[in-house]
Structure formats: structure tokens, C-alpha cells
Chains A and B, each alone.
Chain A
């Protein structure tokens, strides 16, 4: 019998599908290899495993929450539907011309990424709306019908509609949709004023094209998944994690699949936010490092920061501008090519460079002994004593330190006249510095100072590097939660139902129109609430109001959260005060005497967040028992030291391990630098923190 206390979280990643089951009896998890041809196979496999572990049947599951990289991968690998775009006459090439610039200025052989739809699949119709939303040129139905006839002849499966200024006036886009539906009832349709009603045509058109491109694929996958789950006896609703960190119904996910892009990392941020809640932390830096990339996200007041645009499928060394912009509500994170498999080399300036190229799982880092000759971050970690060669991934892979040393010497040491250990130090320092720089830039862009933040580290490689990253960023404390290896899937189970509706409408504070604002916000609130209500008929729904403002004449707006009272009784003076507060935080000083304008309005409807579970406070009970010792390189001291090794399962609540120490578990290893100590907390989190001051004398 389905019970609401049995919940299943499923995260399909690039390599593994993580499945987590929570019952009253506890939490059960597994990792199975992702099955690309039929991703639902891995889900059923994993579900079977965790149900067996938890002693329940699929029919007992009360709720399934699912996140997936399938949407992202379909965009990266160009495996979408046969799709056409209908756009405004004179603007056929917007998605191809991009910003008319080169994202790398020092490459004569630069090639720009191909648009998702080549030119012959882009059609135009007359009709024109101006920057006030007024119709400049009518769109005759007959003209639309003629274009739709060509689309019929072309046998397209999906159609995107993106017209100039449609975010202000969607009438023409709706007319095109109506004609398409009448003539081609089986064709999937996406219109930009529904998918992403935002100013800036390149981003909006690209977003609606991406949505149309993956819509048939995702709708078919989600339909199959539901059928297969029913076949296994599952009798509960299935929800999807979206990129903004909330969950939506399977129907909305099939309609707006572009919102599923990066839903896995979003789950990771929700996971970290939940840990933050349990520990009462208001400023958290979540650090998720896997095999290929590292993701860094700021979480204030237990809420991940969100943004309205991000870039997917970067084609050139993760370089900004080399992918395609998607404008949807998204958890704001930086992702850089820094993971355990990232490869190192020496460039013409004799500088060590790491990533974004990755060794992947085949051949893998040199130490895997599968033919990899180039040193990866994991090789450096091994040589520096961070990893135990006989106890990696629960002992399933035996690592060869000699192979790591050879690769480091040949590729780095010979050029720079370094020993293997010094080369390893260089590689680890460079990758840590790359991540620290990404975190710093992200913090500064958000007006934050990281020194009073707490880090939460998860993902296979993060606990190896978190301690050094904290030293570089001046962060005093880092938590490594239990279940870090399947953090995203756990995060899905903590996410609220939520949906953000937003609209571009310009208004200067000089021309503040309170009635219009009230009407607009009420409309957005109704739209967002409707989505959430379709998922949960009972729960209370909270509304979060946000406007984006700037000095009139600037091009980049900053987000200004408003209280419900501020939003419901809008007042120009309050808006100005809130803007100046946020602007000062970001850029130090306001520019007096300038007019201010509002550009985007957003309402996020959400069910209340899962309340943090109670945390048993634990007093320090004494020193952890070491089961051995090994040499560990300490970068802050620039020397090898002797570090205690401790098994994480053996570490009792309240026990403290002094750095330098190595805490080993199956999925990862936690490095405690000399400057820190680690204590096991009441919920099993390992708290890696600065040692108390001891008058300068190290114990």
C-alpha cells in the first residue's frame, strides 16, 4: 500500500544513476550505471535494489522525485527532434549570429558553435510588435498558413515560435500556435512568450528552440517511465526536479523540458541548503566536485541563489560564450572543468595548467593502470598521500602510485625540473586555485565576502580538496555530510514544489504605477500558484516576490527581493531604498541623482521547505582512534607530514581527529589539513574546522 512516508529520489547522471529510498526505517541508497538507450532501465534496477534493502515493494512508494541530465545531454549531443523555428521576417538568423563576437580572441582558427537549427529549418512570417508592445505591422493569418504548409511538407516533429518583442505582446505567437494546431495536431509546439518571456531576442529564441528540440524526446521518455513504473506496481505520482531547485508535475515537465536542464546539480544545492538548515547556517558555500567538473553555489539563509540565464553545452574549454544561453529560472552556480579526472600539462609559459580536458573513466588517470599516460588530479592526490592506493572506491580499484609518479615526472617534472612530488603539489595547487578563483569571482559578483561562510562539500572528489580550498578562501569551517556520494538524489527529497513566473515590463520610478504593478504581480502570482497547485492540492503555498532594477541607462539589472507587504502595497520610495541597499552591497557606492527603473518582475510560488530535522547536539568526547598513519603532503606547510588514518564508520559522534589526518570511507576520503581538526557531529556530518588558537604553539 502506497505510504507518504516512503519516498524515492532518482538522479540520472552522466555515469551513474543514483537512487535513494527514505522510509520510516531509514535511508537506503544505491548507484547503478546509467543506461543511455533506455534510462528507465537503470531506475527500475536501482528501485528494485533499494526496495529490497528497505523491505518495501514498489507499490508501497508514496512519491517519486526525479532529476536527470537527459535534457542537458540531448542538447550537448544534438539528439533532439526534427525541429523548425518560425520567427519574425528580417530576423531569421538571430540564433546563428549570436552576439557577433568571438568568445576567444586569440585563436585564428576559432569555430563558432552551430545553432541547434540550421538555417533551412528557420522560417519567417511578417508582423511586427514594437518596444512598447504595440503592433506596428499586422500578421495576416493567410501568411501564417502558407508557412505552416511548408512545415507540413517538411515533416517536422516539433516547432518553436519566437517573434520580436513577444514578451511584451504574445498575440502574434499565439496566432501562429493556433494555425499550427489546426493544421498539424500531432506536432509539438513551443512559443517563446510561454517558455521564456524575457527581453533580449537571442536568449529568448534560443531557449524556445531548445525547449522544442528536446520536447518530443523528453515527453516520450517520461511517458515510458510512467508506464514502466506502473508495470512494477508503482501507484504514486512522479514529479520532476527543475533547474530552479523546485519540483513540478510530470505534465509540466513534458511541456517545458528545458526547465529540467541541470536539475541534478540543482538537487545538490538543495541538499546543501537542507544541511545548512539543520545546522542553522545562514551563509553557505556548496562545493560539489566529481570526476569532470566542480560546481560552486552560494546559499544564503538556507536558500540557493537563483538567476535568470545560464549557458549550456559550452564547446570550448568551458569558456563563457561558447555554449548556448538558456533564460529560465535556475540555481545560480559556477561550473568549471575541475574534477578528479582533469588532466594537467605545462604550457608555453612554463605554467602548469589543469583541465578542462578530462581522462574520464577510460583510460582514466594514470594510476588506474588502464593506459592513461597523462597525469590527472587523482594522480596528484595519490602521490601527495591523500588517497590510499589499496582502498580506493571501497577497494574496488587498485591504484598505482608508480604510474602516477611516472606521468607527473614525464609531463610536468621534466620541463619544470621538479620531482614527482613537487609536480603533484603544483597540480593540486593549480586545480585548487582554479576552484578558489571561481568561488571568489562568483562571490564578488554577488557582493559577498566568503570569510564568514561555511563550506558544505559533497561529490566524490570534494572532500579531498575542501580543506585546502577553505585555507585559500579564508573559510573556517567545512561540513562533509553523510551520503555525500548521492547528495543530489537526497536533495530531490528535500525540494519544495515551486514554480517561478516572470515577465519583462519596463517601468521607471519616475513613472511608478502602483495599480499596474499590483495587477501584474497578482497575475504572476496566479500563474505560479497554478503550477504548484497542480502538484499538491492541499499544502499552503508561499509567494516570493522579486524585481530586477537598475539605473536607467545601465544594461544589467540586480535582483531585489521584496516582502509580500512591499509587493502588495507598492511604493516608489520603498523600491528606491531597497535598490540602493542592494546596489551599495554589490558596488560599494550609489550613483546619486540618477533615475532608476524596474525591468523584470518575478513571483516564485512554493510549498514551505522541508523543516530541518532536529540535530542532536554532541559534546566533544575525546580523540578519534587512528587505525594507522601515512605520509601526507600539507600544501600550507609545503612539506610531507605524518597523518593519522581513521575509518569514517568507526568515527563516533563527538570524537575529534586532529589534523593532519585522513578520514576514509567507501565513496570518498576526507583530508584534514594540519591547520584543522575534524569532529563527528550528531547527524554524522564531519565538521572540518580551524583548530582553536594555541598561542602559536602547535600541539
Chain B
């Protein structure tokens, strides 16, 4: 290894820190809660050909492959010959960006000594893009909001005012969206400045050498991981509620020399409602599932992602084509890892977890002054989006994680921050006992959430839940997790998906799903059962029924807890 290899090692580290900084700048300057509190974003740096060299670990896996592919689309649409220093490009094309109109992707060409040396790109989930609002109710992408094809947001530093006026005129929160677009442009700019610093320090004229170093080493490490697997294939499937009719994901995972092919032939067709998934987003989560299982340490870049090939027949729900509605593509996308794991567990048993809650338990409330009686003068309108999580699936050697996002990488919002965002009241947000599937390893607990409005307001709730009829399935004898429930506090039933009205004074009570168990519950260590009982993760009834804990043991645990002791 020559001297320059030490320098390349340093440069690779540096590029990873550059994109991390790019992502942090976005969090700090963004307006949408989905970006600034929940981290639903991504940032990356690319070589001149549009190959991704590094991606920030801040952010969520849903953008992984979509981001890797996006810059090539920008190069094709804009054309290299019309790219200039100071340009910034934009799109929210679900098929050339990251899967729905609510993700804005921006790309900035990086010029050094008047030569195009690479690109910076970033993506963020914004709260509103007009149309019907964030939800599954649209029949086609045309109803889901404003579509921005790949075009120049800024040309040689000059922002396209016509475009910003069109955007402002088509969305519910124009200040917030324009603020977010500026935040995206700023974060690319910060990445570019740091890249220039690095090139000066190391005396580089282009990125060819460092790009080859990164991609060669990543490719070799990835292929080593793949070629260590048994050369075989396996089928997997999983079924979810869907909007009106259940959806089944079918998958075949095939390990070959130097690649893994994941194919979704046999999967349900596109739905009438907006839960369809463009292939870019399916690829992201299929690839994430395999990568987290076999090559977790290898950073994401063009070479480490390329050997994970993902195919699906056109018109299946995991390869929905324009103009299918796709706003809530995350619901199907977040279940992709469970389907892939079902197959992969047959290739390498004992590595992947049982099924978990899957999709995030998100809802958006649209609050307004009450209409059934005179509203107080300070009543107002507001859009409030929250991200929440059920339990993750139990692992071969660990319980599932309670109320923790998997496979998504986003955070929840503090309820005190949410209550400042609009006249909403979160009455309850806490763990849901007995919701984790029993097993040698227990599934993670889901959570309860109760939501209402301040005096003088009524609201619509846009529900985005699943696992009502299809709870997380256990593995190797583990039991299923608890199902999702939703109703109003007076017992009025509600649907798990779609926009629904909630009258003045009413609350919506939700119970989010638990993860499934792993292994036979009778093999669970008794001290873990007792600990779960002491903590109230499980009730005395469940301890006796699912794990066979004796009445004496239960009484002993209860007495210990009364004395303030822990297990």
C-alpha cells in the first residue's frame, strides 16, 4: 500500500463527515417537524458521473437507493452542458426522486477551478405539498399535490422566482415549504464548501482517485459478505391490511456469485388508494433489509449498493407506475423488510428478527374552529403531523425494542413541541402492556396514544395505520404481536386508514401494534418473565397464560414491587 493510500483513507473519512455536516445543517435550518424533529431526510455526495460516494447516517433508510439513483436522473434531464457554478436543481418526482410528492430532492453541481467535479444531493419530507393533503385518499398522483419535474431552482445563483410563486400558490403552508427549500439548498452549499477545502488540502484536481478507492474497497467488502453466503434461493411473503383489501408481498431472494437478486413476482397489484410504492422505494427497503443483515458496517455508496439487485413486475404494488397514487408509499415500503426476512431466514437461519410493527404509526390532524356551535375568537386552523412507532420484532438473542421505529430511521416529536405546533392535546403516549408477542425472546411493546383538540376546536384525523387484521407474525414458535386498534372515546369505531372527522370534545384512542416473539415462550428464562411482570410489560394474566408463571411467583413479584424493589 503506498503513501497515498493513507491519504485516501483520510479523505474517505472526510467525505463521510462532510455529508454528516450537510445533514446536520438541514436539521438545524428546516421548518417542517418531519425534518427538524423526526430526521426524515438524507444527504449525499457524488462523483462527476453521478455515482454516490458517501451518504449521511443521519436520516432514514427509505432514501438510500432512491438517493443513489437520483443524481443520474438530474444529469440526464438537465444535461451536463447546461450545468453552471451556482446552479441548484429540484424535483419531487416520485419515480425519479424518493417515492412521493412530499419528498423534495435538491441537487447542486460542485465546480472546482471551473470544472464540474461532483454533486451534492439532499432530500427531506415536507409536511404539505397541496392537493388533498398527506393521506391515502387520492385516486391518482395528480390529486396528491403539486408536481415539480426536474428543473433549475437556481440558475448561476439566481433563484427562479416564477417557480417559487407557483409553489407558494399551490400549498397550504407556503412559508414553511419555501423555508425548507432554502434549507435544502443551504445544506448542499455547506457540503460543497467543505469539499473544496478538502481538495485544496490534498491538492486534488478531481475526485477520480478517491472515488475509485472508495468504490473498489466497498465493492470488495460487499462481495466478500455476499460470497460467504450459501449459494441458494428462498421464497418469502407477508400480508398486510391494505386500504380496503389485503395486500400480499411475495418475494424470492436468490444468492448468486457477486450479487443477491430480490424479486417480487406474485405480489398484489396496485391499489386504488395512495399506498402504492414506486420501485425506487421498494429497492431502498429491500436493500436495507439485506444490508443490515449481512454487511452492516459497509457505508452506503454506489458500489456497496449495486450487488443488491431488486426487481418487481410493473403494476405490482411494489412497482407502481405513474400516475398511481403514492403519497403513503411508506406503508408498503416499511413492510418490505419483513417479507425479505421471511425468505432470508430460510437462507441463513437465526440471523434476522421476527416481524415487527412494520410501518410507522403516523397520523396528521387538521384542526379548525368548531362548526357545531360558536367558536371562541382565538380558535385557529393548524396542520399537525406526528410520527410514532410500535414495537419491533424479537431478535434471536434479544427482545424486540419497545416503541422504536424499524425499519424506518425517524424519531418521534416531543409532545410538548407538538402541542406548540397547533391546538392539539396529546392525552396519552405510553407503552402498551401485553402487546409484545410472547416468545423465548419477547416482541417489543407497542404504545397507546390518545389525541384530542383544545376547547373550541374540531378536527379531521388522517389515519395511516396497518396491522389491524394482520398482526406481526412470530418466528420459531414465538407468538404474534398485538394488533392496531383505533376508536373514539365514546366507542365510535374508526378506520385504520383515511381522513375521518372528530367532533368537538371527542378524543381518538389508539393502540399501536407490538412486535412478534422469537422462539417458544416456554423457553423464556423465568427471571425475564418476572422482570417483565414487575415492570408491567406483561400482566399477571399473561405471565400465567403465556409463560406458565405460578400464582406464588406472581404474588412474590407483586410484593417485591410494593416494597420498591426491582428485578
Contacts and interface: CB of A to CB of B under 8 A. Distances in A.
* Co-assembled chains A and B: yes
A612 B455 CA distance: 59
B67 to A, nearest CB: 14
A130 interface: yes
Interface string A626-651: 00000000000010000000000000
Interface stretch (A19-27, A304-312, A423-431): A423-431
Nearest to B35: A555
Contacts of B268: none
Interface stretch (B217-225, B251-259, B462-470, B545-553): B217-225
Contact of A554 (B9, B30, B403): B30
Nearest to A201: B416
Interface in B371-417: 387-389, 395, 397-398, 401-406, 409-412, 414-417
Contacts of B25: 444, 587
A160 to B, nearest CB: 14
Interface string B287-312: 00001110111110000000000000
A111 B30 contact: no
Most A-side CB within 10 Å, residue of B389, B420, B563: B420
Contacts of A136: 425
Interface stretch (B44-52, B86-94, B174-182): B174-182
Contacts of B217: 349-351
Contacts of A90: 427-430, 448, 450
A425 B6 contact: yes
B344 to A, nearest CB: 11
Interface stretch (B75-83, B229-237, B477-485, B532-540): B532-540
A111 B353 CA distance: 13
Interface stretch (B16-24, B117-125, B272-280, B486-494): B16-24
A355 to B, nearest CB: 13
B224 A348 contact: yes
A155 B563 contact: yes
A110 to B, nearest CB: 7
B113 interface: no
Most B-side CB within 10 Å, residue of A108, A111, A440: A108
Contacts of A220: none
A352 B9 contact: yes
B292 A349 contact: no
A90 B510 CA distance: 13
B374 to A, nearest CB: 20
A97 B431 contact: yes
A108 B9 contact: no
Interface string A114-157: 00001111000000101100001000000000000011011110
Given A91-B429, A555-B36, A101 B27 contact: no
A616 to B, nearest CB: 37
B401 A91 contact: no
Nearest to B406: A102
Nearest to B176: A553
Contacts of B37: 555
Interface string A588-602: 110101110000000
A89 B351 CA distance: 39
Contacts of A150: 562
A441 B566 contact: no
A506 B28 CA distance: 19
Most B-side CB within 10 Å, residue of A99, A430, A440, A593: A99
Contacts of A553: 31, 175-176, 179
A285 B157 CA distance: 34
A68 B550 CA distance: 48
B197 to A, nearest CB: 9
Interface in A392-435: 416-418, 422, 425-426, 429-430, 433-434
A116 to B, nearest CB: 12
Interface string A539-552: 00000000000010
B186 interface: yes
A347 B297 contact: yes
B98 interface: no
A360 B14 CA distance: 28
B542 interface: no
Interface in B316-370: 351-353
Name the prevailing secondary structure of the A interface residues.
Answer: loop
Contact of A102 (B28, B201, B409): B409
Given A202-B414, A554-B30, A429 B10 contact: yes
A348 B221 contact: yes
B57 interface: yes
Interface string B54-71: 000100110000000000
Contact of B419 (A93, A118, A130, A348): A130
A556 B28 contact: yes
A430 B16 CA distance: 14
Most A-side CB within 10 Å, residue of B13, B224, B398, B447: B13
A638 B397 CA distance: 47
A101 B410 contact: yes
Nearest to B39: A101
B245 interface: no
A102 B405 contact: yes
Interface string B451-467: 00010000000000000
A544 B567 CA distance: 48
B9 A97 contact: no
A108 B296 contact: yes
Most A-side CB within 10 Å, residue of B9, B33, B352, B397: B9
Nearest to A504: B416
A202 B411 CA distance: 13
Given A96-B431, A555-B30, A441 B20 contact: yes
Contacts of B225: 348
B290 to A, nearest CB: 11
B291 A594 contact: no
B203 interface: no
Given A93-B430, A99-B411, A351 B224 contact: no
A100 B411 contact: yes
A125 to B, nearest CB: 14
B36 A554 contact: yes
A444 B566 CA distance: 45
Contacts of A111: 398, 401
B162 interface: no
A435 to B, nearest CB: 12
A417 B2 CA distance: 9
Contacts of B564: 82, 84, 121, 151, 153-156
B25 to A, nearest CB: 7
Contacts of A99: 411-412
B190 interface: yes
B29 interface: yes
Contacts of B12: 351
Interface in B85-130: none
A274 interface: no
Contacts of B299: 349
A118 B292 contact: no
Given A119-B537, A445-B24, A591-B179, A100 B562 contact: no
Interface of B: 1, 3, 5-6, 9-10, 12-14, 17, 20-21, 24-25, 27-31, 33, 36-37, 39, 57, 60-61, 175-176, 178-179, 182, 186, 189-190, 194, 201, 217-218, 220-221, 224-225, 291-293, 295-299, 351-353, 387-389, 395, 397-398, 401-406, 409-412, 414-417, 419-420, 425, 427-431, 447-448, 450, 454, 534-537, 561-564, 566
30 contacts: A97-B403, A101-B389, A102-B401, A102-B405, A106-B57, A106-B292, A107-B296, A108-B296, A108-B351, A118-B535, A118-B566, A119-B536, A121-B564, A128-B425, A199-B414, A199-B420, A200-B416, A201-B414, A347-B297, A349-B217, A349-B298, A351-B217, A433-B10, A551-B31, A551-B179, A555-B36, A556-B27, A591-B179, A591-B182, A638-B6
The 3 A-B residue pairs with the shortest CB-CB distance in the complex, in nearest-first order: A154-B564, A555-B36, A90-B428
Given A153-B564, A553-B31, 9 more contacts: A93-B402, A97-B430, A101-B39, A102-B405, A106-B57, A111-B398, A165-B416, A433-B14, A440-B17
